[in-house]
Structure 1
Amino acid sequence: MEDIIKDLNQISEEEGLALVELAKIAIREYLKSDRIIDLKEIPFENWKKKGASFVTLERKDTGELRGCIGSIIPFRPLYQDVIYNAIASATKDPRFNPVSLEELPFLKTKVSILSFPQILQYKDPQDLLEKIKPFEDGVILKLGEYQGTFLPDVWEQIPDKEKFLSHLCLKAGLPPNCWIKYHPEIFIYKTRIFED
């Protein structure tokens, strides 16, 4: 197996909080100079390993989402994944206008590190409902070319399993009953979240 982050407990609190700082610096630098930062020295060994991350930006006052972009499968060093996803979250999330430099002090930054997705075998919609764990599982739904994912923290907004899966179908560009009608592939993963 290549050098990838296999266990989320590998990442210490110190490393995780440093990733949040890295995300903030990457966004600030990009908004100021259009430059994607790179590190001359990598401060932690784990950062060199391939890792998948999501960077979420929220307004500090209301908790409203302001951008969220990430990778599901590890394909580049963790620190680079965080840099690129941080910039994309601030500037390329199609749901929002790009973040402005003036807005940055009012935003909270969250970095979620993802475990490697595992396929979830299930017989029928009822079995699927029994097997997914709210507030624990991040869920990827895949049907042909269509794919969407919700991080585990989305359960806080949509705690109902049926609604959660219906919204996930919509996010993937499918009808809301796709999980009942078509038996899509389901993968689950865990996350470890660090925030400022």
Structure 2
Amino acid sequence: MPALPVVKLSQSEKEQLLVLARNTLIAAFNPNYIAAKQPLLTERLKQLQLGCFVTLTLDGELKGCIGHIETDRPITELLPTLTNSSAFNDLRFQPLVESQLTSLSIEISLLSKMQVVEVNEQSELQSYLKGTSLGLVLSEGDRKALFLPQVWQQLPEPKEFIEALKVKGGWDRGYWSSNMKVEVFSVTHFSEESL
């Protein structure tokens, strides 16, 4: 059974969130900027509580990606925190510098609720995922790893997708355990380039 679809946003609401994220980055370098340039946010956005990831790309290359699977904060409060974390706290990359702002693109991914998938072995999960474009979370003990659905573009085969996610989480490619928790989700994602 596929994950539940995430809430639908209007074009205007997507634009409001992207402007909020962009203004957050500008304000990180120019603290007085945000007060004068804050986007008008709808009441619906101010109350919407969804998991979210902010992905930053610089000249087409990943520059940062940080998110929360679930939250009890409105997206309008969570988004600036995640935007700054993606820009300055993703340990895989050097922190963003102001001169990179003009070449930077922002993508926002809003997550549906997680749905547990009961499987006994990796081959069952591969069959389940074949032909889907679902996000995937694997967890066991204190290890947890997540791939957004967009990763399917780089890793289109379920076996490859799952094994790369296991490596990301610190497991061996061939590892599987009956204690492995499997969750799937869908996203609504949009970027400055797509609007």
TM-score, scaled relative to structure 2: 0.86
User: In structure 2, which of residues 184, 188, 193 is the aligned counterpart of residue 192 of structure 1?
Assistant: 188
Unaligned ranges ≥5, structure 1: 1-5
Match of 1:144 in 2: 141
Give me the identity figure in percent. 26
Contact preservation (8 Å) 1:135, 1:155: no
Match of 1:15 in 2: 13
Deviation at 1:135, TM superposition (A): 5.6
3-state SS, counterpart of residue 94 of structure 1:
coil
Distance 1:20 1:40 in 2: 9
Match of 1:106 in 2: 103
Q: Which amino acid aligns with 1:136?
A: S
Matches within 5 A, 1:22-101: 22-33=20-31, 42-60=41-59, 63-101=60-98
Distance 2:30 2:131 in 1: 40
The CA deviation string for residues 102-156 of structure 1, in whole angstroms up to 9 with x for no partner, is: 1011011100110011101113222111112456200000011100100000111
Deviation at 1:46, TM superposition (A): 3.0
Match of 1:154 in 2: 151
Deviation at 1:94, TM superposition (A): 0.7
Q: How many residues align?
A: 187
TM-score, scaled relative to structure 1: 0.86
For structure 1, which segment, 126-135 or 79-88, has the greater mean C-alpha deviation from structure 2 after superposition?
126-135
Deviation at 1:181, TM superposition (A): 4.7
Contact preservation (8 Å) 1:124, 1:183: no
Q: Which amino acid aligns with 2:99?
A: E
Q: Which amino acid aligns with 2:67?
A: G
The CA deviation string for residues 1-28 of structure 1, in whole angstroms up to 9 with x for no partner, is: xxxxx85243222111211111111111
Distance 1:28 1:106 in 2: 13
3-state SS, counterpart of residue 98 of structure 1:
coil
Unaligned ranges ≥5, structure 2: none
